[in-house]
Amino acid sequence: MKRLFPDTPPPDDLYRMLVDNARDALVAIDADGRIVEWNAEAERAFGWSRVEILGVPLGDTIAAPVSVAMNASSLSLDLLSGKTAMPGASSAPDLVIRRRDGSWLTVALVVVPVEMAGTTVHFALLRTPSDRAVPAETASGTTALASMVLDNMSAAVVLTDAAGNVILANPAARGLLGSVTAGEALSALPLLQADRRTAYPEQERPLRRALDGHVVNGMLGYMPGSGDGEGTWLRIDALPLRDEAANLTGAIVVLHDVSRSVRAERALRHGLDEAQLMLEGITDYGIMMLDAEGFIISWNPGAERIFARDAASVIGTHSAELFTDEDRGVGEPVRELREARERGRSENNRWHVRADGSRFWATGTVMPLWRDDGSLHGFAKVLRDQTAERLADEQTRFLASHDALTGLANRVSFSNQLHNAMAQTQRTGVPFALLLLDLDRFKYVNDTFGHHAGDLLLKEVALRIVSSIRETDFVARLGGDEFVVIQADASQPQSAETLARKLVLELGRPFQLEGQEVQSGASIGISTYPADAGSSVELLKRADLALYRAKHAGRHTYQLYNGMTRAEQGWKRDREAALRAALKNQQFELYYQPQVDLGNWRVATVEALLRWNASELETVLPADFLSIAEQTGMIVEIGEWALREAAHQVRRWQSQGLSELRLSVNCSARQFSDARFVAMIPAILADAGMAPSSLALEVPESMLARHPAIKEQLAALRALGIRLMIDNFGTGATALRDFQDFAIDALKIDKAFVEHLPHRREDSAITSAIISLAHNLGIEVVAGGVETAEQLAYLKSRACDGAQGFIFSPPVPAERFEQLVKSGHWSRINPTTGVPDAGFNKLH
C-alpha cells in the first residue's frame, strides 16, 4: 500500500493536527487488537480520555450488540481487528459501543487499513447514523483515509504537487479560499502576505519553503478581503510530502483562521502599550504588579522614586521586603494579600522601608487581578508617599494635646487622663493621688535673666519631673509655671508624700542655664481620689488649696489636703473678706508700663496694672487674686476703683505736658456682664476730665471668643470715642476676618509669639502675617513682651506700630513711671540703667 506520510512515523505536529481536528471519532487498532489512536472527538463521544484508553484491547470497550445481529457485530469487530482483510476502505454494519458511563451508542463504521512503521494499522471512522450518512468510498486506504480525515477537519487543508499546483482542497479550504480547482497554482491565491500591506518575499512564502523541503510551523499570514472589507488573518503550517524514494512529491498546507485572536491580541498589546506609557509617566504614585504569590513582576518610575530602588533590584523579590521588620513580624504582608483576595481590595496605609533603611509613610490600595477562568493572576499595588502629610498631622495632633515648650501633656490631655484615672479607680478600687506643683521664684528668674531663661528653666523642670516619676504616672504642664502629676497607684501609705519629697529635692537643686546657676524650687499640694473629693473639679480645687498652704508655709515644701481643718478649708471666704478689706483700706496700688510708638519713638500709651499690697513685705500679683474677685463679683468694684484712679493719674500727666498720652486698662468678661460697669465708664472719664479718645480698653481675645455677647457693649463704647484693643492676640479662637463686622482700633500680639523672634521661623511667619493682615484691615498692631534689641528690630522692620516690654521698662509705680518719661530712660536698651530702685524687679 502507498504511504500517505513516507516518514515513519508521520511528523507529530501535522499528524496530531489531522487526527485531533477531525470532526468525527477516529480510532486506530494495531494487529493485536489494541487501541493505538483515540482522538479528541472520540474522547467527547465515548467518555474515555486518550490516556485511559490507549493500549486497551478494543474488545474490552466494545461489547456485544443488543439490537444488531451478532454476525454484523462480529464482522465489524473482525474488520477492526484485521481478521477480515479488505483491499481498501470498507463499510460495515452498525456497531454498538459502550460509553464510559455505561450507556450504549450505535455508530456507523468505516475502516481504512494504513501501513505505518512496517505494520498495518486499521483506522476506523465512527459516526452516528443520525448525524450524516457514511460515504461509500472504495478508494485505496491512503485516499480513503485522506478524504475521510480531511473532509471532516475544521482547518483548511490544501495538498499540492511538486510544482505547487492544487491536487486536493478540503471543504474548509474551499470555504475559506473560495473556488479552488485542481491544477490551479496555490501561489496565485491571495493568501501569502506577511501583513495587510506587504507580501512575503518569494523565498519566505510558506508553500515555497515547504516545496524546498522545510517544515513551516505557525507562520502568520494575511488574506485581504474584497473591496474595503476587513481581511482574514491566518496561521499557516506547511509540510513537504515525499515518495518512498524520498523524492519531493508535493506539499500539504494547513490554514487556521485566527483573525479574532490576532485582532484581540493586537488590541490588547496596543492597550498595554498605552497603559505602560501611562504608568511610566506617573511619578507621584508607586505602581507595582505582583504575581499570585506576592513576588514583584513590574515596577514603575513612581515606585523607583518613592522607594529609591530601581526596577532591576526589586523585580523577582517578594513584596514583603518593602515592609518594616515590625509588620513582617506580625504577618502584615500575608494578611494584606489575603484581604485583597477575599474582599476585593486591601487598604495599604503604613510605614515602608527605602533602600537606605529610612522609613516613609505611604497610603494606597492592593487589588487582586483575576483571569477569565476565575483563577488569580496576581495583584496590583498602588502607593503614594504621604510622609510630609503624616508628620504634619502627627505634629498637629501632638500640639493639640501637648505643651509646645516642654513637650509634656497639656491641660486638655490632663483633663482626659484625670477622668480616665477616676474611671479606673471606680473599677479597681485602687486610689490615685494628684500632685499640683508651682515653681518658687520663677518670676524672679524671668525678671532677672529674661523670659528666655524662664523657658529654659521650665524645660529643665519638666525633665526632672519626668525622671522622678514611674512609667505608670502621668505629668502635664497646666500653664505658666504650674505642673501636675497623677500618681497612678496611691494605695500604699505615704506613697504620695514620698513622691512629693523626691520632687521637692530634685527641683530644689540648682539649674545650669546657659552657664548661669539658677536656684528655683517648688511647692506642692496633694489630694487623693476618692478620699478627698468625688469629682475632678473638687479634686483639683483641693490640691490647689493644699498648694496654697504649702506656699504660705514657707515654700519649697508640700502639703496634704486631708490634713486641713474645717477652718482652714474656708480660706476663700477669708480671702474674699481680705479683698474687701483691701479695697476699703486702700491696699490696692496701680503700676504703669509704657507702650512705645515705633513710628515716632514716643511713649504713646501707658497700661495700668493692679497690685495688692497685702502686707508691708508682700505684694500680691493679679494672678493670685483676680479669679476670686471674678467669682465673687468684686472685680466690678475693684475695676471701677482702678479705672477711676488711673484716669485721674493720666489726666494729671496730660496736664503736665504729656497731652497725647493714652491710658490702657484690662477688662474682664465679668465686668462687661454688669451693666453698671459699662454705664459708669463715661461718667468716670467726665469726672477725671479725660477725653474718651484717651482711653483704650484691652479685651483678651479668648474672652471675646467665649463671650460674643459683649461685642454689642464694646461697639457702644467705641461709638463714644473709646479705643478698643484685643489683648493676647493669637492665643484665642478669633480670626481677623471676624473684625470685619466688629470694629476695633488695635490688637496686641501675645508675647508667646514675640519671645522667640526672629530665630523661630514659625513665630516670625505668624507675627509678620498678623501685622500684614491687621494693617490691611486698618487695625494698629502692638507687640507685647518685647525684651531684646533683636525682637525690637524685627518688629520695626515689619512696620509694627507699637511695642511694650522689659526692653523699655517693667511695670513701675506712678512716680517711677513719671521719672522714666522725664529722664528718657525708657528709650535705652537696658531700661533699669540709672534708676536705683529695686521696685523695678516687681513684674507684671
For residue range 460-480, what is the model confidence (pLDDT) as tens digits? 999 999 999 998 999 999 988
Q: Are 193 and 221 in contact (CB under 8 A)?
A: yes
* DSSP codes, 534-597: SSHHHHHHHHHHHHHHHHHTTSSSEEEGGG--HHHHTHHHHHHHHHHHHHHTT-EEEEEEEEEE
**Phi, psi torsion values for 719, nearest 5 degrees:** -65, -25
The per-residue pLDDT for 109 is: 66
Q: Please, which residues bridge with residue 361 across strands?
A: 351
The per-residue pLDDT for 7 is: 38
Give the residue-averaged pLDDT of 498-526.
Answer: 90
All cell numbers assigned to 104 = 450504549
> What percentage of the chain carries pLDDT values higher than 70?
75
Give the residue-averaged pLDDT of 29-51.
Answer: 82
Residues 6 or more apart whose CB falls under 8 angstroms from that of 526 comprise 433, 434, 435, 436, 496, 497, 500, 543, 546, 558, 559, 560, 561
Give the residue-averaged pLDDT of 108-122.
Answer: 63
Q: Are 28 and 36 in contact (CB under 8 A)?
A: yes
Long-range contacts at 815-822 (CB < 8 A, ≥ 24 apart) = 816/840, 817/592, 817/593, 817/594, 817/606, 818/653, 820/594, 821/594, 821/603, 821/653, 821/658
Q: Which amino acid is at 563?
A: G
Q: Are 583 and 788 in contact (CB under 8 A)?
A: no
The per-residue pLDDT for 755 is: 84
Give the residue-averaged pLDDT of 491-495.
Answer: 84
- pLDDT tens, 625-676? 777 777 777 888 888 899 999 999 999 999 988 888 999 998 877 787 777 8
In terms of pTM, does the model score above 0.85? no
The per-residue pLDDT for 775 is: 92
What distance in Å separates the CA atoms of residue 367 and residue 398, rounded to the nearest whole number? 34
Q: Does residue 152 have a pLDDT over 80?
A: no
pLDDT band (50, 70, 90) for residue 565:
very low
What distance in Å separates the CA atoms of residue 488 and residue 490, rounded to the nearest whole number? 7
The per-residue pLDDT for 701 is: 75
Place of cell 523670659: 451
3-state DSSP assignment of residue 791: helix
Give the residue-averaged pLDDT of 2-11.
Answer: 39
Q: How high does pLDDT run on average in the chain?
A: 78
Give the residue-averaged pLDDT of 107-131.
Answer: 63
Q: Does residue 427 have a pLDDT over 50?
A: yes
Task: Give how far the C-alpha of residue 718 lies from the chain's centroid of Cα atoms, to the nearest Å.
Answer: 50
Q: Does residue 31 have a pLDDT over 50?
A: yes
Place of cell 504614585: 285
The per-residue pLDDT for 203 is: 59
Q: Which amino acid is at 114?
A: V
The per-residue pLDDT for 688 is: 92
Residues 6 or more apart whose CB falls under 8 angstroms from that of 614 comprise 578, 582, 587, 620
Q: Which of 368-372, 414-418, 794-798 is predicted with the least confidence, judged by mean pLDDT?
A: 368-372
Higher per-residue pLDDT: 511 or 449 = 511
Q: Which of 96-105, 277-286, 340-349, 632-641 is predicted with the least confidence, judged by mean pLDDT?
A: 277-286
The per-residue pLDDT for 595 is: 93
The per-residue pLDDT for 202 is: 62
Q: Does residue 316 have a pLDDT over 70?
A: yes
Distances in Å between the Cα of 444 and the Cα atoms of 58, 353, 450, 744 are: 115, 50, 9, 35
Q: Please, which residues bridge with residue 695 across strands?
A: 663
Give the residue-averaged pLDDT of 234-262.
Answer: 82
The per-residue pLDDT for 566 is: 41
> What percentage of the chain carries pLDDT values higher than 90?
21
**Closest C-alpha among 569, 522, 575, 520 to residue 546:** 569
The per-residue pLDDT for 715 is: 83
Q: Does residue 322 have a pLDDT over 60?
A: yes
> HSE-up of 471 (CA within 13 Å, CB side)?
0
Q: Does residue 277 have a pLDDT over 70?
A: no
All cell numbers assigned to 761 = 521661623
**Closest C-alpha among 180, 145, 163 to residue 251:** 163
The per-residue pLDDT for 191 is: 53
**Phi, psi torsion values for 239, nearest 5 degrees:** -140, 135
Burial class (CB in 10 A: 0-12, 13-18, 19+), 833: exposed
The per-residue pLDDT for 435 is: 95
Strands 746-749, 780-783: pairing is parallel
Q: Does residue 801 have a pLDDT over 50?
A: yes
- pLDDT tens, 572-612? 456 777 788 888 888 888 999 999 999 888 899 999 998 88
What distance in Å separates the CA atoms of residue 390 and residue 485, rounded to the nearest whole number? 30
Give the residue-averaged pLDDT of 134-154.
Answer: 53
Place of cell 493572576: 377
Other Cβ atoms within 10 Å of 427 Cβ, number: 8
Give the residue-averaged pLDDT of 282-293.
Answer: 81
Residues composing the chain: 844
Place of cell 475521510: 148
pLDDT band (50, 70, 90) for residue 457:
very high
Q: Does residue 785 have a pLDDT over 50?
A: yes
